[in-house]
Amino acid sequence: MKDLEGVTSGQQTRALALSTIAFTTCFAVWTIFSIIGIRIKADLGLSDTQFGLLIATPVLTGSLSRLILGIWTDQYGGRVVYTAVMVFAAIATWLLSTVETYPMFLLAALGVGLAGGSFAVGIAYTSKWYPAERQGTALGIFGMGNVGSAFTAFVAPLLLIAMGDRWQSVAQVYSIGLLVMAAIFFFGSQQDPVTAARKSRQEKHRSILAQLAPLRHLQVWRFSLYYFFVFGAFVALALWLPRYYVGAYGLDLATAGMLTMMYALPASIFRALGGWFSDKFGARAVMYWTFIASILCTFVLSYPATDYTVAGITGPIDFSISIGLVPFVILTIILGFFMSLGKAAVYKHIPVFYPDHVGSVGGVVGMIGGLGGFVLPITFGMMNDMIGVWTACFMLLFALVAVALTWMHITILITDRKETPSLGDPKFLPELASGKRAQSE
């Protein structure tokens, strides 16, 4: 890209490092309810449905805000937008510690959710520092900021104990940490080269309607469904698993948090590997790996504990089919690993198909994916209250990933191979000289 002329590797590294650390901090705040929400549930006597709504509410704001934040980042640059998001989320997190009623908790949680909108800002900001052939790896490294959920799952329970079981103090510590990160990012970062070049040429930024133009393509919504699973389900499980371990296996909160971290960690840190795989083998191939592995994992995890009685030689024999704790943990780790690869692969597609609309397209894909993190925990809680089967959440995820895989495969068979036979190998993404193929899908 012409705008990258003169950009040094040191500048690229600094931008990537700062945006990744900032996103990690934001993600830790965004998932804070996975731990303190259990204490709030006990204090207020909430049902599982109410608890699901509480932990999912920040995800709603973080998801819906991604579209407009992505557009603003394309228009005004990530340095200012990123800093503003962190400051406002930090204020809301502090205010969380001052409320007492369930409706006020939900209102405060909406403000905390702004931290989740930082993803769209960071994606647009980071992508502008790298050429297309390196964006998969760079965005994969940035996406490792999802490890913030593992940080919260591990550190928040320990912080809760250290604070004398005062979850309000935990929220205050998180708020201060986010404010400090906002200052570090603002004073340590630079304006991205694309925005800086546009301002130097005194070019007007594109209108919001122009930024939204690619959203008329069905392909964007297909990518959104992929992300609804690989990211939305990841967030949902990161929020739900502590409750799952406490309710289904009778574990204490600290142990539940530790085991959730074992899921969230590979679901985050291997995103960089997913970006590298996407650059080397193709994002399409990585999506196949992700969906096939996820179908297998969720299928096994879907089996409920069921008692059976059969006729034996000496009389009836009672036995139970269920997933023990150790196999369950191992399967969640495998599931998290492939989700991590898939998250990177989805965002490898976007700069290739929509190089001039990364903010808006990335924003809407991130928004739909984030909505998965809002809708799914509520659904998990409702299913628990209505049918009382803990593994029902994995049954739902199995159906979701099966639909995503089917849609992707049919599209590749019918559209790609019919219009462009050279793309029959799922390894490759097209070199788009025009928007023709993007519009056809």
pLDDT digits (tens, 9 = 90+) for 67-113: 788 778 877 888 899 999 999 999 999 988 888 889 999 999 999 99
Residue pair 140/273 in contact by the 8 Å Cβ criterion: yes
Mean pLDDT in residue range 360-364 = 74
Six token digits for residue 392: 């029902």
Mean pLDDT in residue range 181-187 = 95
219 vs 241: CA distance, rounded Å: 32
Q: Which residues pair with 310 in a beta bridge?
A: 317
| Residue of higher predicted confidence among 332 and 437 | 332
pLDDT at 77: 83
Residue 64 has pLDDT above 60, yes or no: yes
Mean pLDDT in residue range 241-254 = 85
Q: What is the pTM of this model?
A: 0.68
Residue 253 CB partners (closer than 8 Å, separation 6+) = 35, 38, 157, 160, 242, 246
Judged by average pLDDT, the poorest of 89-93, 254-258, 260-264, 422-426 is 422-426
Six token digits for residue 316: 């009836």
pLDDT at 298: 94
Residue pair 215/363 in contact by the 8 Å Cβ criterion: no
377 vs 373: CA distance, rounded Å: 7
Q: 317, exposed or middle or buried, with CB in 10 Å at 0-12, 13-18, 19+?
A: exposed
Residue pair 165/39 in contact by the 8 Å Cβ criterion: yes
351 vs 416: CA distance, rounded Å: 19
| Residue of higher predicted confidence among 94 and 385 | 94
pLDDT at 318: 37
Task: Assign 216 a pLDDT band (cuts: 50, 70, 90).
Answer: low
Judged by average pLDDT, the poorest of 144-148, 241-245, 306-310 is 306-310
Six token digits for residue 353: 């198909």
Residue 353 has pLDDT above 70, yes or no: yes
Judged by average pLDDT, the poorest of 86-100, 256-270, 348-362 is 348-362
Q: What's the angle, vertex CA 191, arms to CA 186 and CA 192, rounded to 5?
A: 130
What is the SS3 assignment for 283? Answer: helix
Q: What's the angle, vertex CA 377, arms to CA 44 and CA 254, rounded to 5?
A: 65
Mean pLDDT in residue range 109-132 = 86
What's the chain's average pLDDT?
80
Task: Assign 23 a pLDDT band (cuts: 50, 70, 90).
Answer: very high
Residue pair 420/437 in contact by the 8 Å Cβ criterion: yes
Q: 309, exposed or middle or buried, with CB in 10 Å at 0-12, 13-18, 19+?
A: exposed
pLDDT at 2: 56
| Residue of higher predicted confidence among 344 and 433 | 344
Mean pLDDT in residue range 146-154 = 81
pLDDT at 57: 87
Residue pair 70/368 in contact by the 8 Å Cβ criterion: no
Task: Assign 213 a pLDDT band (cuts: 50, 70, 90).
Answer: low
Distance of alpha carbon 110 from the chain centroid: 17
Six token digits for residue 14: 């600094």
CATH 1.20.1250.20 fits 8-198+211-440, yes or no: yes
- Predicted confidence (pLDDT) per residue in 386-433, tens digit: 887 888 889 999 999 999 999 888 887 876 656 555 444 444 554 443
Residue pair 253/156 in contact by the 8 Å Cβ criterion: no
Residue 270 has pLDDT above 50, yes or no: yes
34 vs 16: CA distance, rounded Å: 28
In 3-state terms the chain splits into helix, strand, coil percentages (rounded to 5) of 80, 5, 15
17 vs 141: CA distance, rounded Å: 9
Mean pLDDT in residue range 263-286 = 82
115 vs 87: CA distance, rounded Å: 9
What is the SS3 assignment for 174? Answer: helix
288 vs 292: CA distance, rounded Å: 6
pLDDT at 429: 53
pLDDT at 416: 60
What is the SS3 assignment for 434? Answer: coil
Residue pair 168/105 in contact by the 8 Å Cβ criterion: no
Six token digits for residue 398: 């199995």
> How many CB atoms are closer than 10 A to CB 162?
13
Mean pLDDT in residue range 125-152 = 81
In this structure, the chain runs to a length of 441
Q: Where are the domains of the chain?
A: 8-198+211-440
Residue 173 has pLDDT above 60, yes or no: yes
Residue 313 has pLDDT above 70, yes or no: no
Task: Assign 359 a pLDDT band (cuts: 50, 70, 90).
Answer: low
